Amino acid sequence: MTINYEEKLKIEKTIEENHEAKLVVEVEPEMMDTYKRRAARKISERGKIAGFRPGKAPYHMVVLNYGEQAIVEQAVDFFIDAEYSNILTEADVNPGASGRLENIESLDPPKLIFKIPLAPEVDLGDYHSIRFPYELAAPESKDVDAAMDELRQMYATTETVEREVQDGDYVQVDVESETTELKREGFATVVRNEDRDTEWPFAGFAKQLVGMKPGDTKTIQHDFPADYDLEELQGKSAEMTVTVKTVRAMTLPELDDEFAKTVGAGETLAELRDMVTKDVENRSKADYDDKYFVDLIEKIKEGATFKYHQHSLDHEGEHVLNDLTQRLGQQGMDLDTYFKLRNTTREQFIEDEVKPVAKKRFERSLILDELVRKEEIEVDNEALDNEFSQTLNALAMQGMDLSKVRGGKKGQQQLAQAVAMESANRVMTRRALEMLKSIAVGEYKSPEERKAEAAALKAEQAKEEEKVSEAESAVPAVLSKSKDEGEAGSSSEEETKS
């Protein structure tokens, strides 16, 4: 049966400032009566009314025994279950979360008030006009030298010594701090002459250990920059209590062909250096890209307009807390203990630290999602398959035995689905970032241009395949002709001899 909702429902829609839709729904009395009678039957099925079998009592007897209010409450539940999606469709509302019945304004006529959080929206502004040069510099020779030294340290021999820490020593320390991200037990570091940006937790940390002996403790204060890699430490000042556990003097292997063979990077030192150079280039590019795209997205945010309900931000905040909970769990700590160490409450921590991180993450995801939609970015199956395989290989290299996943085949299927989803998200994110980069450096191509190029490439490939097919078809014919000519020649020779 088709219902004409314009006749049965009158809907008044108001979009409120908190990105929530207020719907005042007036229900045609006859329609509500249908649900009230259904509700009365349901109530009579559950209860007992003298003289009537369950579900057979007339409406007025149900009212007499249970009251009109009980019937109305049940009828409203039935009405919402059956008609809520239709109401959203008629009102042209795109929900971002489950709505709620705010109030029953009247029963004659039936008038219900709903509040529905709307789906997030973002207007990217004139993002096509943004220019941001991509200026990746090739690593310097000193960067390769540093990487070679790190490789030597991996293959170095060490000897425990009972003396003060010196340059070149391998030192094990315990790091205590109210900041969870800085807590370490048995952390190993090498004291180098030069500072390195990759040093944990900051460049120059290990140098501050020089002069300490095993058992010595030192308090180190550090102000982390606003662009620090870890969001939780950006712009923060932190104090660490460092205790030296062991000091080991290192003996480094010579940089020669034998060392290259030991590492397994070829037969010569030159081949080893080539491999290390490529690795440094890849890491340098990854580091540059991370900062480049963070800054580029910030530029887009400056011209973008966001609209979202607080529920969306709270939901993202839950993800931020869950991520923190998992990291703490790896260190044997729970959230409550963490809050005590930080001398804060859950509410204050959420307000001061979770919400800013959640806002930043959420708005970034909105920008990328909208870019994917507007630019019609798609992911091909080949890219998905490659990413999926690489992820599974990485898990296997980390020691995960996929055949022993908890839950048997069902567990394996769930893991495969999770990996597939994560792989798709990564590929789509990379495509979106590549699109942003093409815009920023002035190499943008519209969806129509990209489709035209793809169609031309496909046509060219089809022509090449057709040529190959024709060539392959011609080979048997040539061979057959050669065979016939050969047989004819043999016949002529025999006739001549005769």
Whether 423 contacts 379, CB under 8 Å: no
Whole-angstrom CA distances from 460 to 64, 200, 315, 450 are: 81, 52, 48, 15
Q: Summarize pLDDT for 208-229 with one digit per residue, the tens.
A: 999 999 999 999 999 999 888 8
pLDDT value, residue 373: 94
Q: Summarize pLDDT for 339-353 with one digit per residue, the tens.
A: 887 888 999 999 998
Whole-angstrom CA distances from 472 to 466, 467, 476, 478 are: 10, 9, 8, 10
Q: In this model, does residue 492 exceed pLDDT 90? A: no
Q: In this model, does residue 281 exceed pLDDT 70? A: yes
Nearest to residue 434, comparing CAs of 359, 381, 361, 383? 383
pLDDT value, residue 227: 82
Q: Which residues contact 100 (CB under 8 A, 6 or more apart)?
A: 114, 115, 116
The strand pair at 184-190 and 217-223 is best described as unpaired
Q: Summarize pLDDT for 317-338 with one digit per residue, the tens.
A: 999 999 999 888 887 888 998 8
Q: Summarize pLDDT for 389-445 with one digit per residue, the tens.
A: 888 888 777 777 767 777 777 877 888 888 888 889 999 999 999 999 999 999 999
**Residue 13 CA from chain centroid, whole number:** 35
Other beta carbons within 10 Å of 58: 13
**Which of these ranges, 48-52, 126-130, 228-232, 460-464, has the smallest mean pLDDT?**
228-232
Task: Specify the amino acid at residue 386.
Answer: N
